[in-house]
Chain A
């Protein structure tokens, strides 16, 4: 190819790009082309961590090996995925399937007609408990979920001569004992880029004191953050603040995990996913206990965030994507996924085998005992409300005497989110 020819080709390609750009809608800033081979359902995935990516790749491979419809994965960094999701869904040529979780955001998209009704996939999911069905509506297929609790190292608890508490009083006693031994009882990683972890404390105090029903109403804007009932949950929280890591708002989630694993803090309220990053030799030493009961009259609720897939209403591959969703909902599909994952997630299919470690077996039982499952602050409300919680709760951890102002400010900020 001579220089002149090269220049002409380049110029033509540039012009072509421009024309196709003009033709498509200006708001559809899709990042990266999505290959739409005939008969292949593309999955836009935010599972970019190595273990999670390996898991979804294994699921897709198992599906493709059945020689039916085919699927392919397009992995995007989770922050990019989150900010681009509206663009994906409104673009002229969206991916067919998306990894996500049920919640307010999904409901909003459903109401705008952007999501595909996949009720017929649910026809094949008769074994699923009603709770997953209610959670998912007509547009979502749940595949995995996990649990939250106070995680600790068995060897450390043995060394300190303490046992997991059942009631709130025992819990406070445990904190006191650990502090007496020079250990910071409660880890916290609400600094740096993970202020959202403070919301787990808020969620738990609220579902333990006011119950899951009130909690959902509050997060949906039907109750107020400056309500006396909300204020009341900060009384037990204040009680354990002196036992909480004073650097809890300075360090991030990773450092807080390390502090607990190294025995500088006694325990950490966290999701089971933290074990993904824990060293292999530590995993067998990890155990957890339930967030202690505060009011025995409140039905037991636990956080059990659920993940899965939804589909775009504009997809031209409805048959293929439904075939994939049906497979992802089977025990076989979920076992393929879990086998390749780091093994701390639970399958949503009631008969699917989990990774079988004592920790996971206990986690599954832990959620089974709960009368109600909540998702997590941002999932039960919205990602837009999460920053208001971050600001309020980090401020509470630092300046607990400002509680009244904090709650009024929080309510105002939340109203701003709900009003728009």
Chain B
């Protein structure tokens, strides 16, 4: 016991430095700019002149900005489809591939491979698949009615593999004794899933939820490299709109306000869920 207290109190100063310096670096290069973002959202700034304080004008402007409305709707669609389908698909694949059979590793690896690719490379592959005269007569990326969904497919293709791995790890942690007992009691496969697998996956679920909410709100590269939010803003997400507002239109104040909206959405969804999850426990 004495030796343990000693080791706690006498942290070598060099180790302390190794904790404090990264914290300071992180604070300065990550937290401080993030805080500045909130301030910039209240200004008009072109990146060159000093920012001009405009109060809540940037937020007021969102109310009549048709592109913002499209971006919000699309982000909501994206959150539901991308989040929902990747969770369902990932869980389904994990349950299907959970048992150790011969060759199951190949299937797991095959589903995981898209996660390894960079999203920009992935979108290049899909762009070729979508070429007019390929699978489709005309490219679904060019049609404003289908562009968003056409971009969603490659994003899902990647995310399902990722979520599957999270669930596979979760499934491995379930005590096989529970299933044996259930089999003895004559439970059906569905009953086993409903009453053993699902409740046991509770903690993994909150991880998966956080991951998919964050990933869908920061989905950017796949959309930007395939459509740039077009044709005429039909596949615009909040993230792509924020980027083009900041770096094409050089309206950094308005773009910061958009970033704040994205932050509030991500934070809001996750905190609500976590609070509920903790209460249930």
Contact = CB atoms under 8 A, between A and B. Distances in A.
Interface in B105-147: 127, 131-133, 138-139, 141-142, 144
Contacts of A17: 25
B89 interface: no
A39 to B, nearest CB: 29
Interface residues of B, number: 43
Interface in B1-58: 14, 17-18, 21-22, 24-25, 28-29, 32-33, 36, 44, 46-49
A22 B238 CA distance: 31
Contact of B46 (A22, A86, A390): A86
A149 interface: no
B231 A26 contact: no
A122 to B, nearest CB: 25
B249 interface: yes
Interface string A254-280: 010000000000000000000000000
Nearest to B140: A250
Contacts of B21: 11, 14-15, 18
B231 A21 contact: no
Interface string B244-274: 1001111100100000000000000000000
A250 B49 contact: no
B250 A86 contact: yes
A11 B18 contact: yes
Interface string A110-122: 0010100000000
11 contacts: A7-B18, A14-B22, A108-B48, A191-B141, A193-B228, A195-B231, A247-B139, A251-B139, A391-B230, A391-B233, A420-B254
A103 to B, nearest CB: 14
Given A11-B17, A18-B21, A247-B142, A398 B231 contact: yes
B48 A89 contact: yes
A255 B249 CA distance: 27
B225 interface: yes
A50 B61 CA distance: 43
A7 B231 contact: no
A391 B232 contact: yes
A83 B228 contact: no
Interface residues of A, number: 45
B48 A90 contact: yes
For the residues of A in contact with B, the DSSP-based class is helix
Given A246-B138, A247-B139, A250-B141, 15 more contacts: A14-B22, A14-B25, A18-B25, A18-B28, A21-B29, A112-B49, A247-B132, A249-B231, A250-B131, A384-B248, A384-B251, A390-B232, A391-B233, A398-B142, A420-B46
B148 to A, nearest CB: 15
A192 B235 CA distance: 12
A391 B138 CA distance: 19
A394 B231 CA distance: 7
A369 to B, nearest CB: 34
A417 interface: yes
Contacts of A26: 32-33, 36
B254 A86 contact: no
Interface in B227-241: 227-228, 230-233
A247 B249 CA distance: 28
Nearest to A17: B25
A384 B48 contact: no
Given A247-B132, A384-B250, A195 B230 contact: yes
A250 B14 contact: no
Interface in A127-141: none
Contacts of B138: 246-247, 250
A22 B28 contact: yes
B46 A251 contact: no
A219 B133 CA distance: 37
A217 B28 CA distance: 45
A8 interface: yes
B232 A394 contact: yes
Nearest to A8: B14
A87 interface: yes
Interface in A6-49: 7-8, 11, 14-15, 17-18, 21-22, 26
Contact of B230 (A86, A112, A390): A390
A387 B244 contact: yes
Contacts of B230: 195, 390-391, 394
B17 to A, nearest CB: 5
Looking at A86, A90, A114, A386, the one whose CB has the most chain B CB atoms below 10 A away is A86
Contact of A83 (B67, B142, B233, B247): B247
Nearest to A251: B132
A208 to B, nearest CB: 25
B227 to A, nearest CB: 8
Nearest to A420: B251
A417 B44 CA distance: 12
Contacts of A391: 230-233
Nearest to A397: B231
A109 interface: yes
Contacts of B141: 191-192, 250
A395 interface: yes
A250 B66 CA distance: 24
A387 B151 CA distance: 20
